[in-house]
Structures are given as C-alpha cells and as structure tokens.
Chains A and B, each alone.
Chain A
Amino acid sequence: MTDTLLSLLGIFSQLSVLAFGGGNTILPEMQRQVVTVHGWMTAADFNALFALSQAAPGPNMMIVPLVGWHVAGLPGLLVSSLAKFLPCSLITMIVMGLWDRFKDRPWRRLVQTALMPVTAGLFVASAWLVTVVAATSAIPVLIVIAVALGSMFTKVHPLWWLFGGAVVGLASGFF
C-alpha cells in the first residue's frame, strides 16, 4: 500500500511540473505509467476514467483524483491530488513575484514560442492514444468521427456530444 502511494506521489508530482500547455498534454505519460509500467488498470479502464473525467465539471485534470481513487481508495485520491496540484501551484506562487522582471525578456518569448508546437504535438498524441483504445469496432469508430467533425464545425456544447456518444453506445448494445 505504502509502495503504491509512493509510486502515485512520484508519478503525479513529475507530471505536475511537466504539464506545459495545460493538462491534456500529460495524458500519454499518465497512461504509460498507470497501464504499461504499473499495470494498475487496462487501457480500456483508463479510457473510461478519462471519459468520466471529461463528463464531470471543473478543470480538465479531474482524471487525476479518479485514477488515485481507483488505484488506492481515499488515500490514493489524496496523494494523487496533492502530488498533481501542489508542485505546479508552488511554482506559480514563486514565479508570480518574479514575473514582472522577466516577462518581457526575449528568452521568455522564445521559450513560450518554442513550447507551442511541442504541446500541440503532445495534445494530438493524447487524442491519438484515447482514440486507438476507444475505436474497437464500427460503432465507436463512427462516434469518434461524428463527434470530431461535429465539434469542429458546430458550436454544440461538448457535454451534448458526450451524452450523445453514451446514448448511441448504449443503444448499440441492444442490436
């Protein structure tokens, strides 16, 4: 148990300081650690937890407490959340005081410009990995395509797409 909690602490504190460009860029590494390295759950389970966290309100990193809960109950939830949210928060608190001094420096703009294509690539990597696991048969493939296109070209709220996907998935089980 203690070993598991220490592993969660290590994984999520590292992800916390690597999460440039928002939460979704660290999804591939989270999946690699939780599924491949530690074998705490299957890739399909991980996908289901990710989907659940997308259906819940709040910041888009709510998969973190959910994974902690799934792996080690309440202690797992607390350790994962603390590990994921504390390090980046401390960095924010420290850098806030220094921001005025370096925000206009050329190197700051250079680093930010350079991070953009990297985080875009990581984001697409996240999308790729959840898609590969989700697209197991014809119906899920059609849902992926329909939602991707629909969400690109309309302004329908994301929750409706999730709801619609769940309903179509459920209905497909009856045929």
Chain B
Amino acid sequence: MTTFAVSDIQAGKPRPTKRELFVGFMLLSMIAFGGVLPLARRMLVEQRGWLTSEEFTELLGLCQFLPGGNIINMSVAVGMRFRGPAGACVALVGLIAVPTVVVVLLGVVYDRYRDDPHIQHLFGGLAAAAAGLMIAMGLKMAKSLRGNIPGILVALLSFAVIALVRVPLLYGMVALTLVSIAVAAWRHRS
C-alpha cells in the first residue's frame, strides 16, 4: 500500500481524503441506475483522476475474481488503497447509504398500499419488467459462452441444480465450481 501512495505523490496524482471518498462514492450511487461500472470508471479515472485507466482495469480484475458485487468491492478496494481500512469503510458506506434510504422508502410505500388492487397491478407490471431485464442480461451473459460446448453444459447444469432442483447454494456452488474447474483444466490440456 505504501509504495502505491509514494508513487502516487511522485506522479502528482490526487490522494483523496476520507471525506472525498465518502462524497465521491455517494454521488456515484445517486446517479447509478442499472450498471454502475461504466459510471464508476468515469468518476475514478476521468473526473477525479484517483486511478489511471490501467489501475482501474487491474482493480476491476481483482473485484471480478472475488465474491461480492463488483462495484461494492471496487469501493472497498479504492478506499483501502488510499486511506486503509477506515477509507474502505467510508467509501462503502458512501456507496450504499443513499440507495438504502431510497429502497426503504419505496418498501414503506409498498407495505402501506400492497392490498390496494391498483397498486398490486402496478407492482405486478414493475416486477414483470424487472424479470424481462434479467432475462435480457442473462442472455447477454450466455452469449459469451457461444462455441464453448463444455461451458454451455456447465451453465445448463448450474441452472438446473439451482433453479429446478433448488439445491442449497453453498453445496451447489462448491460442487459446480469443482466440476467446472475439472472441465476447464481438461479443455486446457487437450
């Protein structure tokens, strides 16, 4: 971490304070609807200059490898890098504070009016649209497996085990990952 900070100062790059981390990620969360990552890149690299393009890509690789939402991990990694654990904490809280208040307010409205037939229709339509968006995103993800027959089979197996058989994710995930690693290793060799 220290080496990072020293090289940053030498390069004349800004080193955000805890307050700047909090405010930066809070502002990001407020404009981010459906797909935060492109906006995160714009804020971190282009607008504030906290990271170079290469550093962003590098951190993103780490965040995608680890569990947790990519943007959640990204806020933690950026905060950690500049201000240690306290920085990670303020960046994360900045990212989720406003959205939490917004969803809870929406949830209160839902609880209050859920028995009203018109509101039920409204939420029925909203949930259907959310499902449609998920299908589109799922198909886009599945496209990246085109031509990769073993990968498609692993994806279908994962779908069946979790969506149809409803195996607990903990066991399902361990087993599926091991199968997939074996398949990937076998493909790699042949």
Q: Which A positions have Cβ atoms within 8 angstroms of B? A: 14-24, 26, 28-29, 32, 36, 44-45, 47-63, 65-66, 69-70, 77, 81, 85, 88-89, 91-93, 95-97, 99, 103, 108, 110-131, 133-136, 139-141, 143-152, 157-159, 161-162, 164-170, 172-174
Contact = CB atoms under 8 A, between A and B. Distances in A.
Contacts of A152: 136, 139-140
B129 A147 contact: yes
B134 A130 contact: yes
Contact of B102 (A57, A121, A126): A57
B164 to A, nearest CB: 8
Given A51-B129, A169-B122, A123 B138 contact: yes
Contact of A126 (B67, B85, B134, B136): B134
A138 B143 CA distance: 28
Contacts of A91: 66-68
Given A114-B180, A122-B158, A140 B134 contact: no
Contacts of A70: 107, 111
Nearest to A169: B125
Contact of A131 (B98, B104, B131, B166): B131
User: Which of the listed residues B80, B122, B168 has the most CB atoms from chain A within 10 Å of its own CB?
Assistant: B122
